Chains A and B, each alone.
Chain A
Amino acid sequence: MQEGKVLPAAQVNRDLLRSILETPRWFWPVVSLLGMIVLAAAVTIGIMVDRGLGITGLNYKVVWGFFITNFVFWIGISHAGVMLSAILRLAKAEWRRPATRAAEVLTIFSLMTAMIMPIIHTGRPWRILYWAFPYDFARGVWPNIRTPLVWDPSAILTYLTSSTLFVLIALVPDFAVLRDRTTGWPKIVYTMLAMGWEGNPRQWKLQIIAGVLLSALILPVFVSVHSIVSWDFGMAVAIKSWHSTVFAPYFVVGAVHSGVSAVVFAMILLRWAYGWQDYIRHEHIDALGRLLIVVATGWFYFLVMEIIFGIYGLEGDELAVRALQFLPGDHGVAYNVWMIVFVGITYFLPVILWLPKAWRRNLWIMSVACISVNVGMWLERYLLFVPGQANKQFQTFTWNDYLPQWPEALIVGATFAFVSMLMLLFSRVFPLVPLYDIKEGDILKTEMQIGRRTVPATFRED
């Protein structure tokens, strides 16, 4: 049974809509600061498109660097949405309620950010339409469906579409609440978005059916998106350490690991910023922490397996990449040190922090653990992708290293600002904690006395 008191519906509305109906004083300064970072990155992208990818640190050997690492990172973050809302919804985990929408919205924004990365990473981004949206009817040259790079856009756009539908369906009852509480042009917008929601039993039934149906339909996407992204690497026969069959499950579990951590951190930030102590409670963070221990351990298993599978074949060129990853050497970048740092901050540090119950309920400790996971997961992708390209085959003459330059660092940093900015702007327009879902949870919690027994006052059929 959950902790915390059952709040009256009017107070739920008042508390959760405060972020929309009143502007906090810090809001615009923070958004403008983030906007300036994004603007700086946009200018950098402009320079990059104008002058060529030469301004990055990529070279003749390492051709996929920071941008692709960042792409996979944000695709990973996006997995939190479907994990929290679809899987936990179908599993009837009550503690998911306040987190679902933040996770879904984070999914949408991180997918959008992720999609920018491979586009700006190409040599001629203005021609990208040719690949992702085939239009070349005249010459009959269609995209090559054998390549994972064509599977990618279809998987990601499917995920984006289904996540957007998911968020919109969950938002309809909340739009209606907003429609009734606003005036002027916002009211007109919310009226249109609410699509005539009155809250009658038939509408509720349809809404619940749509939610459950979408949860079930989104499940294959949950597995497919990151599997397909991992095949960008797994299908590359020429690069040792990439050409691995374990990549798909490894990437999916890693994605849930970093995604759920990111959602926990986002929830802690929102709780602090908007004062939602009564909604995002310690018990929710605690439950997510317990989930994360399981996910992290699953991920760690795959990490070890990936390394063992690589070394097991005892192929000289594969061992050369592993030596670059794990052994100290005379090369410029000390990958072995980064490797130790990465495993430490992605698994051992956070799991130790999540184990004691008191620490799971300490928001500072949880924040540290969740940030550390995400820094670690970013490093994981980098350490997975770059050494393989640097020591590609046993033609040692061509071995080469990669040093990222400032444009890449700036653009990668700005993606974090971009997602934060979008989340903040979203929270000003739409409720980031689902009102009806909280109320539904509260109703399910109410109990009544029958004789000496205390039983739930309601139960749900689905």
Chain B
Amino acid sequence: MPNAEFPHKWGMVIDLDKCTGCQACVIACQAENNIPINTKDYFLQRRAYEWIRIERYWEGEYPNIKARFMPVLCQHCENAPCEPVCPVFATYHNEEGLNVQVYNRCVGTRYCINNCPYQVRMFNYWHPNWPARLENQLNPDVTVRTRGITEKCTFCVQRLRRGEIEVEARGGQRLSDERITGGNYDPACVQACPTNALVFGDLEDQDTSIKPYFDDVNAHPGHGEHDRETRGYRLLEEMNTRPSVIYLKKIDQYPLKGGH
């Protein structure tokens, strides 16, 4: 339950300068959130599930070429285009700034998928199944989604709930004497990132390391982008979706010859 005394606003900062494109976050997410195995068939049908994906772009022409990586997950937009279009309120914004997907309500109109500019919503075309032994590793805290519904990144809300329970148990009362902070609770992708390119935190917590980036980007929105002191930017900022995820630009130490 959201706490009135200590409200939360979850956010993430992704440093593209640190991202190596290793896909550890993708696998961690796959394991944590009971996402079906992406078999060859799924790829051939172009229906591979990834709640977080590494977008890979090539810059330049071979041999003068560089690979760019960008992890893309649900941006948990404050002004999410997916939310107003769902006829059954299967997706809505909760008090902690999370964009929540209620699997039970979803009927599978797929309008939210169309209206998501980041393309992070996945539709279950088939009933998910796992090889026999792998069913034993399913995370008991996460619903196994049926076919015909839409799913997406939750910022590992099950870990958040578990963190709340632990804090509550230690403090003896409901989240009153100890906050859940970034250290107490990290999504699987953040935990797995070997270079700490992904940083998670609570924007209501003044001490969190991600707060300055959000303050900077919020202070210089849209056209004021050049006045920013940090490298922060939001994906598709011109859509005004106000994502809770901020990307940090890559610093190119060895720029491409003839490039910028």
Assess whether A441 is interfacial by the CB under 8 Å rule.
no
In the complex, number of A-B residue pairs with CB atoms less than 8 Å apart: 135
| B85 contacts A59, C-beta separation under 8 Å | no
| B148 contacts A149, C-beta separation under 8 Å | no
Pick from B118-126, B200-208, B248-256 the stretch touching chain A: B118-126
Assess whether A362 is interfacial by the CB under 8 Å rule.
no
By a CB distance below 8 angstroms, the chain B residues around A125 are 107
Assess whether A63 is interfacial by the CB under 8 Å rule.
yes
Give the residue of B49, B85, B114, B125 whose beta carbon is less than 8 angstroms from that of A53.
B125
Interface pairs A-B: 3 shortest CB-CB: A123-B108, A123-B148, A59-B46
Pick from A91-99, A395-403, A443-451 the stretch touching chain B: A395-403
> Which residue of chain A has its CB nearest to the CB of B88?
A131
Assess whether B149 is interfacial by the CB under 8 Å rule.
yes
Assess whether A249 is interfacial by the CB under 8 Å rule.
no
Question: Beyond A124-B149, A141-B105, A236-B85: 18 further Cβ-contacts under 8 Å?
Answer: A51-B126, A52-B124, A52-B147, A53-B123, A54-B125, A60-B122, A63-B110, A122-B108, A123-B109, A123-B147, A127-B107, A131-B107, A146-B85, A150-B87, A236-B115, A238-B115, A393-B117, A396-B57
By a CB distance below 8 angstroms, the chain B residues around A235 are 85
By a CB distance below 8 angstroms, the chain B residues around A392 are 117, 119
> Which residue of chain A has its CB nearest to the CB of B119?
A398
Q: A107-139 interface mask toward B, CB cutoff 8 Å, 1 = contact, 0 = none?
A: 000000000001001111101101100000000
Assess whether B61 is interfacial by the CB under 8 Å rule.
no
Give the residue of B48, B86, B88 whose beta carbon is less than 8 angstroms from that of A60.
B48
B91 to chain A, nearest CB (A): 10
By a CB distance below 8 angstroms, the chain B residues around A61 are 46, 119
Asked, given contacts A58-B125, A64-B110, A395-B55, whether A53 binds B148 with beta carbons under 8 Å apart, the answer is yes
| B115 contacts A123, C-beta separation under 8 Å | no
Assess whether A147 is interfacial by the CB under 8 Å rule.
yes
B176 to chain A, nearest CB (A): 30
| A141 contacts B119, C-beta separation under 8 Å | no
| B125 contacts A238, C-beta separation under 8 Å | no
Assess whether B111 is interfacial by the CB under 8 Å rule.
yes
Question: Residues of B with Cβ closer than 8 Å to A?
Answer: 45-49, 55-57, 72, 81, 84-89, 105-111, 113-119, 122-127, 146-150, 236, 239
A57 to chain B, nearest CB (A): 8
Distance between Cα atoms of A393 and B119 in the complex (Å): 9
Asked, given contacts A123-B107, A124-B106, A398-B55, whether A148 binds B85 with beta carbons under 8 Å apart, the answer is yes
Assess whether A1 is interfacial by the CB under 8 Å rule.
no
Give the residue of A56, A63, A237, A396 whose beta carbon is less than 8 angstroms from that of B239.
A237
Assess whether A298 is interfacial by the CB under 8 Å rule.
no
| A141 contacts B126, C-beta separation under 8 Å | no
Asked, given contacts A124-B106, A124-B107, A149-B109, whether A63 binds B123 with beta carbons under 8 Å apart, the answer is yes
Distance between Cα atoms of A147 and B236 in the complex (Å): 23
Distance between Cα atoms of A386 and B57 in the complex (Å): 24
By a CB distance below 8 angstroms, the chain B residues around A35 are none
| A52 contacts B84, C-beta separation under 8 Å | no
Interface size bracket, A side: 35 or more
By a CB distance below 8 angstroms, the chain A residues around B88 are 130-131, 141, 143-144
Task: Pick 26 A–B contacts, CB within 8 A, sort by A.
Answer: A52-B126, A52-B127, A52-B147, A58-B125, A59-B125, A60-B46, A60-B47, A63-B114, A64-B114, A121-B109, A122-B107, A123-B147, A123-B150, A128-B107, A130-B88, A130-B107, A131-B107, A143-B88, A147-B85, A147-B87, A149-B85, A149-B87, A237-B81, A237-B239, A395-B55, A397-B57
Distance between Cα atoms of A53 and B45 in the complex (Å): 12
By a CB distance below 8 angstroms, the chain A residues around B81 are 236-238
Distance between Cα atoms of A378 and B125 in the complex (Å): 25
Distance between Cα atoms of A144 and B107 in the complex (Å): 13
| A400 contacts B46, C-beta separation under 8 Å | yes
> Which residue of chain A has its CB nearest to the CB of B127?
A52
| A54 contacts B105, C-beta separation under 8 Å | no
A366 to chain B, nearest CB (A): 38
In this complex, the member of B89, B118, B146 whose beta carbon has the largest number of chain A beta carbons within 10 angstroms is B89
Asked, given contacts A52-B125, A59-B47, whether A238 binds B87 with beta carbons under 8 Å apart, the answer is no
By a CB distance below 8 angstroms, the chain A residues around B148 are 52-53, 122-124
Distance between Cα atoms of A435 and B49 in the complex (Å): 60
Asked, given contacts A64-B114, A123-B148, A236-B85, whether A54 binds B109 with beta carbons under 8 Å apart, the answer is no
Distance between Cα atoms of A54 and B42 in the complex (Å): 10
Distance between Cα atoms of A326 and B89 in the complex (Å): 37
B78 to chain A, nearest CB (A): 15
By a CB distance below 8 angstroms, the chain A residues around B56 are 397
| B86 contacts A144, C-beta separation under 8 Å | yes
> Which residue of chain B has its CB nearest to the CB of A398?
B119
Asked, given contacts A60-B46, A131-B88, whether A395 binds B119 with beta carbons under 8 Å apart, the answer is yes
By a CB distance below 8 angstroms, the chain B residues around A292 are none
| A200-239 contacts to B (CB < 8 Å) | 232, 235-239
